[in-house]
Structures are given as structure tokens and as C-alpha cells.
Amino acid sequence: RSIALVLGTRPELVKLAELIRVLGPAARVVHTGQHYDDELSGDFLAELGLPEPEYLTGVGGRPRAVQVAAALGALDELFAADPPLAVVVQGDTNAALAGALAANARDLPLVHVEAGLRSHDRAMPEEHNRVLIDRLADVLCAATPDNRALLLAEGLPEDRIAVTGNPVVEAVRDHLPPAGERARLLARHGLAADGYLLATVHRPENTDDPAALAAVLTGLADLAAELPVVLPLHPRTRARIAAAGLTGLLDGLTVLPPAGYGTFLALARHAAALVSDSGGVQEETTVLGRPLVVVRRSTERPEALADFAELVAPGPAIAAAVRRRLAEGPAGLRRLSALPSPYGDGTASDRIADLTAHLARERA
Ligand code: UDP
């Protein structure tokens, strides 16, 4: 019998890739199709060396409740026909919630990778997903001691929690291209190391409110007058920019299609600073030693805020925060590169594989 890994988006592929490799033939990867766009999922599978997953149909592009319900129904059929020994989910997506509920419904042991993150922002669907998944999980893989403390404070029993680190550390280690390849990539895009900014925008709080979207893009356009701003554009953000009539604000930016993982890491590694609302990027910049301006109301990753990142609202605060970082110059970059990542030492996937195998043996 297998170990099922239920996932549905780009960051889940990134963070579960090494665990899937370590589990080997026991891993059964089920993709809910939450992000069905090939630029976000298909190419990623090949690049991360992942096996072709089993796909659920009728989930992607639907409202949240329908996504969860459709994935739950389809997963229940899969698990009834061929029950796995354990189910693994990562993070806070609708796919992860559906996987957790499906495991619970069939009394299958559940492992939650990246447990104990809290933004305390109840307007974020991800916050509700996290809390629900943590309640249901039998093994809570907390990335940091602070994540563990948050779980304990909510009354979750100590013997369910392990501090494992975050698999993002090994993802960066395994997929950052070598220096020569990075240099060629920068040259192809006409970029100088430490001489450009890298930005990503995709969270609904920034894309679905035209005023916020305009404020983010205006901040980037302002900075682009000083140095190149590279923006790999998420398909949803591209659609929202067009719908809001804001395409003109992209004129001064270097707009790219969503980048492959290695390409994105290479661009991040040599950026003078990053501007992003992504969760994963908050972690990756701590491994790469680059400063990050997080454009969000709140973050569930305060570990990064101490040294690597600053939280700002959409608007003039973006350019101001970036300029403060740029003013620190090469010494600022050297300081960050010398700091350890708060997300661990690159052994999280091995630890999680051991915990999962143990759980599966207990239930076998
Ligand atoms: N990423 C990428 N190409 C891009 C933008 C992001 O490979 O053009 C990676 C990034 O390095 C991170 C992951 O995608 O590992 C984050 O995904 P996303 O921002 O969609 O989700 P979040 O982390 O916010 O849940």
C-alpha cells in the first residue's frame, strides 16, 4: 500500500518534490488540478523530476467551496478503492484541505507539512485552511520552534508535533542552477548581478482590488526609473491588470511569463532586492540571502521579518522600503548572505519521510 500526497499548486510541488523522491515507489501523487495552468504546474512537474500524478477533474477554476467539495468527493472514491497507509498534505491550499478532510473521512493517518503557520488574518481563506488541517493532522511538521509554540498555544498535543524545518531549504539547494548557468541567464535578460529588482504579485488582496493593484504596479514603475524591475507575471494577475485597464503601468517593467523554478531561483539569487506577496518567496529569500519587501496586510512567516524581510502595504511604502535596502549596498547583501535561514538545514524532507513511514507502519 502507498502513501498518498495530495497537492494542487506550484508551491506544493516545490516543497513536496524531495519528500516524493525520498519516499520512492511508495509515493502516490494525487494532483487536484487546483492550478491547472501548465505554466504553473505541468512544466514544474518535469523540472522538479516528479512522476506524472493522478489528476482529479472538475476542480480547477471553480469557487473555493466547489473546489474543496469536488476534490473531497473524488479523493474519497480513490481512497475507498485503494486506501493509502497515510496521507500527506502541505501548506494551506484548498487541495491540502480537501486531502485532510478525505483522510479524516476514511480514518487514514494524516501528516501536515508546514504546520503551525498563522497570519491571524481571518479574511484569508488560507488561514482557515491551516487551522482546519492542523486540527485534523496526526503528525504536525512544524518548520520552526515558533510554529510549534503556536500549535501548543492552541491546545494541540505535544506528541503530535515535530519541528522538522521547511523543505523549501532543500528545494533551493537542489534547484538553484550553478553559477555559470546563472551568469548566462542574467546576460540573456541584460541584467547585472545585484543590479535589478525581482517582483511577483498574485495574492487576491493585491490583484482583486484595482486600487491595490494600481498601487503595487505604480510602486514598481517608480522603482523601474532607477533600475530594471523583472516581473514574471502570474496568469491571474495578468488578467486582472487587463480587466482593470492598468496595462500601461507595465510599460517600464521587464515582464516575463511565469518563470520555471530554476530560472526564478537564479533571478532571485542575484536580485538587489525582491518585492513579493508570495509565501514561498519569503522563505526562499532567507536561503538565498536577499532582502525582500513583502506587500501584504499580514504574514504567517514572521521568522523572515527579523532580518530578511519587511512588511508594507501597497503604495509608496513599497519604493521607500526597497530604497532603504538598496542604500545598504553590498555590505547589506553580505550581511544577509552570512545569516542562517530560520527554516532549517535542508534535512526536513528526510525527517518528514521518517515520521510518515513510522505512522504508516503503526497503522499497517
Ligand atoms: N515561483 C516560480 N516562478 C515564478 C514565480 C514564483 O517558480 O515565476 C516559485 C517561487 O520560487 C516559490 C513558488 O513559486 O517557490 C511560490 O508560489 P506562489 O507564489 O504561487 O505561492 P505561495 O508561495 O504564495 O503560496
Within 10 A of 361 (CB to CB), how many other CB atoms are there?
Answer: 10
185 shares a domain with 59: no
For residue 37, pLDDT beyond 90 = no
Q: What is the average per-residue pLDDT within 300-329?
A: 96
Q: In what order do the strands lie in the sheet with 27-31?
A: 54-55, 27-31, 3-7, 86-90, 110-115, 139-142, 161-163
140 shares a domain with 7: yes
Domain total of the chain? 2
Whether pTM > 0.90 for this model: the answer is yes
329 shares a domain with 194: yes
> Is 14's C-beta closer than 6 angstroms to any atom of ligand 1?
yes
User: What residues contact residue 44 under an 8 Å CB cut-off, 6+ apart?
Assistant: 10, 13, 14, 50, 260, 261
163 shares a domain with 24: yes
200 shares a domain with 289: yes
Q: What is the average per-residue pLDDT within 173-190?
A: 98
108 shares a domain with 157: yes
Q: What is the pLDDT, as a whole number, of residue 306?
A: 81
Question: What number does the ligand 1 atom closest to the CA of 168 have?
Answer: 15
137 shares a domain with 91: yes
Q: What is the pLDDT, as a whole number, of residue 43?
A: 77
Residue 257 resides in a domain? yes
Q: What is the pLDDT, as a whole number, of residue 158?
A: 98
Q: What is the pLDDT, as a whole number, of residue 129?
A: 98
76 shares a domain with 129: yes
Instruction: Give the Å distance between the CA of 81 and the centre of ligand 1.
Output: 34
Instruction: Give the Å distance between the CA of 284 and the centre of ligand 1.
Output: 10
Q: What is the pLDDT, as a whole number, of residue 189?
A: 97
Ligand 1 pocket test target in 264, 265, 286, 343 with most atoms within 8 Å of CB: 264
For residue 75, pLDDT beyond 80 = yes
Residue owning the nearest CA to atom 9 of ligand 1: 261
Q: What is the pLDDT, as a whole number, of residue 36?
A: 62
Residue 172 resides in a domain? no
Q: What is the pLDDT, as a whole number, of residue 40?
A: 62
Residue 211 resides in a domain? yes
Within 10 A of 186 (CB to CB), how many other CB atoms are there?
Answer: 18
> Is 90's C-beta closer than 6 angstroms to any atom of ligand 1?
no
Q: In this structure, which amino acid lies at residue 158?
A: E
| Strands annotated E in the chain | 3-7, 27-31, 54-55, 86-90, 110-115, 139-142, 161-163, 197-200, 229-232, 254-256, 273-276, 292-295, 309-312
For residue 42, pLDDT beyond 80 = no
pLDDT in tens, 43-65: 788 899 998 899 998 888 889 99
Q: What is the pLDDT, as a whole number, of residue 38?
A: 58
Q: What is the pLDDT, as a whole number, of residue 39?
A: 58
> Is 116's C-beta closer than 6 angstroms to any atom of ligand 1?
no
278 shares a domain with 206: yes
Q: What is the mean pLDDT of the chain?
A: 96
Q: What is the average per-residue pLDDT within 19-26?
A: 97
127 shares a domain with 226: no
For residue 122, pLDDT beyond 90 = yes
Range of the domain at 330: 177-338
Residue 313 resides in a domain? yes
Give yes or no for a contact between 143 and 341, defined as CB atoms under 8 angstroms apart: no
- Assembly ipTM: 0.98
355 shares a domain with 332: no
- CA nearest neighbour of 235 among 26, 8, 41: 41
CATH at residue 20: 3.40.50.2000
pLDDT in tens, 205-229: 999 999 999 999 999 999 999 999 9
CA distance 292 to 283: 10
For residue 104, pLDDT beyond 70 = yes
For a pLDDT cut of 90, what percent of the chain falls above it? 92
Where helices occur in 107-192 by DSSP H, the ranges are 125-136, 145-153, 168-175, 179-188
228 shares a domain with 89: no
